[in-house]
Amino acid sequence: MADGALLIACGALARELVELRRRNAWEHIRILCLPADLHHTPNKIAGAVADAIEKNREKYENIFVVYADCGTNGSLDRVLDEYGIERISGAHCYQFFAGESIFDTLSEEEPGTFYLTDFLVRHFDRLVVKGLGLDRHPELKSLYFGNYKRVVYLVQTHSEKLSELAREQADYLGLEYIEHNTGLDPFDSILKEQVIEWRN
């Protein structure tokens, strides 16, 4: 018999979701994270989420998807509509972490902003340098990042080591560096607003 709830989420949000589950005593909620590398092939995200739903929909009373659109151009929403399942609102995780108003302000200040999160800082070499082929073709850096003006590191967990890495990454990209401490409160608030019935 179906019971409890399942969050199907992007692997880039795993640490934060586990911490918020602990903080809020959401013992009845399970978290299933899909590989963060799917962001390199966003056309595969909707299919991967659909597969996860198919494998788990008989096991859980509720399923909620913690993905933004993430470059799927609406295909994720079309899949979720077929199943009658909702996802967290937003275009990307940067909005989750910063909160909508702060993110809008940062974007308006400088549209040419490349955002980092704790996850991206930790995995910058794998996801950005190697993922975009910059290790093999460094000349592509100007093609990918030539229109960016700055890096904004949205900090979920304060760490001098991560801040130092983020500064080095901004230097590598040749961009101005700005650090904005978000913590987890904005993400926590969004989850509570949109998944509030699961807290009962």
The domain in which residue 138 lies consists of 100-181
Residue 160 and residue 174 share a domain? yes
> Which tens digits make up the pLDDT trace of 75-132?
999 999 999 999 988 778 899 899 889 999 999 999 999 999 999 999 999 999 999 9
> Which tens digits make up the pLDDT trace of 127-170?
999 999 999 999 999 999 999 999 999 999 989 999 999 999 99
Give 197's pLDDT tier (boundaries 50, 70, 90).
low
- Token pair 């409890």: residue: 4
Give 198's pLDDT tier (boundaries 50, 70, 90).
low
> Which tens digits make up the pLDDT trace of 24-48?
988 889 999 999 988 889 899 999 9
How would DSSP label each residue in 144-198?
HHTT--EEEEEESS--HHHHHHHHHHHHHHT-EEEEEE--SHHHHHHHHHHSGGG
| Other beta carbons less than 10 A from residue 20's beta carbon | 20
> What pLDDT sits at residue 134?
96
Residue 105 and residue 82 share a domain? no
> What pLDDT sits at residue 193?
85
pTM for this entry: 0.88
Domains held by the chain: number? 2
Residue 82 and residue 107 share a domain? no
| pLDDT (mean) for 52-73 | 92
Residue 43 and residue 67 share a domain? yes
What SS3 string covers 55-102?
Answer: HHCCCCCEEEEECCCCCCCCHHHHHHHHHCCCECCCCCHHHHHHCHHH
Give 1's pLDDT tier (boundaries 50, 70, 90).
very low
Residue 127 and residue 191 share a domain? no
> What pLDDT sits at residue 90?
77
CATH code for the domain of 25: 3.40.50
Residue 10 and residue 87 share a domain? yes
